[in-house]
Structure 1
Amino acid sequence: MTAPGLIETCHPTALSQHPLRVFTLTGVSPGPVLALIGAVHGDELEGPLTLSALMQYLDPARLCGQLILCPAANAEALAASTRCSPSDGLNLARCFPGDPKGAPTEVLAALIAEHVIRPADALVDLHSGGGPVDCPVFAGYGDAPATRTANLAMARAFGAPVIWRHPAPIASGRTLSEADASGIPAIYIEAGGGTFPTEDILEAYSDGVRRVMAHLGMIDSAPLTATAPLFVAGNGDLDAAIMAPASGLCSCRVSLLDKISAGQPCFDITDIDGRLLHTIAAQADGITMFLRRSRWVSKGDLLMASATPDD
């Protein structure tokens, strides 16, 4: 059973079997418009599970403003449990603002930009490390001058134990870069759940979304958080992180949120017969934010991304 007053709109995409499903809930009182997005990557189920549950108990009589919910942004990738779209191999999180006449994923990005992001006053994009990558629960934001104060306030409100600031300009192609281009405050959330998010992670996402809504004045109250966050900084571009130089069995020597030094050995990659192929060291001092958890890696797979303390 969904919340009363919830309206679904299906927007045709380049793939007839996978329309873009967008849900709106309008409160009885005026207020901001908050967009909530999940499953930009199909192997990240935190967003769909959080937003699906949210739609079960929302009450428009207790809501100020409007929610725009897109729980399955990339339905094709979600159905296949893949990071990228099977139809064209593109990563939706690199395709914004999209192209209505482009490849299927570019068409999808254009639709999300038009019907979900640009109509909003604020955006929360729910991601995770996906199947092969682990990371702490964190809120990330860009610090462009026009939105940095509102972005940081939303990141603080979410209540994640880590807040990651990305210097402007934020990398192109993202939902956040699309929001930034329109002057819309936006944050994204990450965790290490992927296709098997734990109840603790789902509770953190659900409570965090409600805290953002309370911060924006859309609901009266939300769960409290007593955790003082760790602040880190860095570009957060996983395309520029440390990648596997060869295929093989991977052993990780560090843990999430460890402080690492340039030159410190972090990974060993061995052949199937146990022969050492490579030892991969940290390229700079920092704090580990993303780590490979799949023990088999292929050449070019992400091994580690790091940030620096942001005091």
Structure 2
Amino acid sequence: MTQPQQAGPDQFVFQQYRTLLFAVAYRVLGSAADAEDAVQDAWLKWSAADRAEVADPKAYLTRIVTNLAMDRLRSARHQRETYVGPWLPEPVLTGPDTADGVATTDSVSTALLIVLETLSPLERAVFVLKEVFAFSYAEIAEAVERSEAAVRQAAHRAREHVQARRPRFTADRARRRDVTERFFAATSGGDINTLMALLSPDVTLWTDGGGKVRQALKPVVGVEHVARWFAALGTATYQGIEPGRMRAELTWINGGPGVVFHGPDRVVATLTFDFDQEGRISAIHNVANPDKLHAVADGTRHDLS
């Protein structure tokens, strides 16, 4: 992010809220690259603002970045509608501390970000500010430049929509980590029986290559199909990389345990998981579009709380 060499008071204040601004923009956009651009644009607006008219820097900056993110989301909608294969959010690395709070973990999970894609930009922004960051309706109304009544209606619609499409189960952090580690070991060893035991019967694998790399253009559904897909990983050349030259790493992605696949000179793909009420894997999200792997490849761990 380009900013002045000398840290003046303007930059000091901005940096104080930068983590919050990225966390809001990322949840509204589902893209780390677009969120960074929105934060950069917010900095430019902030640096040009008349300080005499800014009573509350946090509210002012949140309003700027929220509106910038909504504008970017409106522009991105057409591209996402014509996307080749399933569209998945851009993964980001997080620290294990992000997973301490259930609400925070769920609010950056791939599964919830996919549900948020089905909301309007206004509903999505209102949901993020209210449900994740606990802004008041009055604060949100000011941020999104709508009446408080309109914001309450948008919040109600968004909450009902999310609850209907995103059941909340109680697989705890230790259970999710354990299942992910066992899945990782079974995939590495081609152990199809263990894989099938760890997967929900109607598990769904979503693969996002964006037309840039070869991936399944439709979801792979069912425990046998998904287990065989992963059991073959250790024996097949993938994106021109032989199995012996591929390295997989367990890490934290979007607030939960995930896997990053590395080739000799690049990040190749990521996996994130959703779990059912028995703690089995109910959905797997595989991002392989190279345009969406920059945030993981640069190694930055984001605080999205």
TM-score, normalising length: structure 1: 0.30
Higher relative contact order (CA 8 A, sep 6+): 2
Larger radius of gyration: 2
TM-score, normalising length: structure 2: 0.31
Which structure has greater strand proportion? 1
